[in-house]
């Protein structure tokens, strides 16, 4: 990524702020699911599945950011 351009810095900054907010709410949602779920095994498996999907989407979006800023 080329951070010599101020527009690239702005785009990357907005991306990282939005990603940080989404990660916070995602972790909070998984905590609520595990804490207040009826079945511990079901809620744990759903939270693991959600975590893998969320990390895959996060990885793809970061790859897209790198392609956009290069």
pLDDT for 1 beyond 80: no
CA distance 65 to 70: 9
Contacts of 1 (CB under 8 A, 6+ apart): 8, 12, 65, 66, 69, 70
pLDDT for 7 beyond 90: no
Model confidence pLDDT, tens digit, residues 31-49: 898 888 888 889 889 989 9
Instruction: Tell me how many degrees the CA angle 19-24-26 measures, rounded to the nearest 5.
Output: 90
Contacts of 31 (CB under 8 A, 6+ apart): none
Residue 49: count of CB within 10 angstroms of its CB = 10
Structure tokens at 33: 């699911």
pLDDT for 9 beyond 80: yes
Which pLDDT value is given to residue 38? 86
């Amino acid at each position: 990524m080329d951070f010599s351009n101020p527009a690239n810095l702005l785009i990357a900054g907005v991306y990282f702020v939005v990603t940080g907010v989404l990660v916070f709410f995602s972790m909070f949602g998984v905590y609520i699911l595990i804490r207040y779920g009826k079945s511990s095994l079901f809620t744990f498996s759903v939270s693991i599945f959600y975590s893998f999907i969320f990390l895959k989407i996060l990885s793809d979006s970061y790859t897209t950011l790198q392609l956009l800023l290069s």
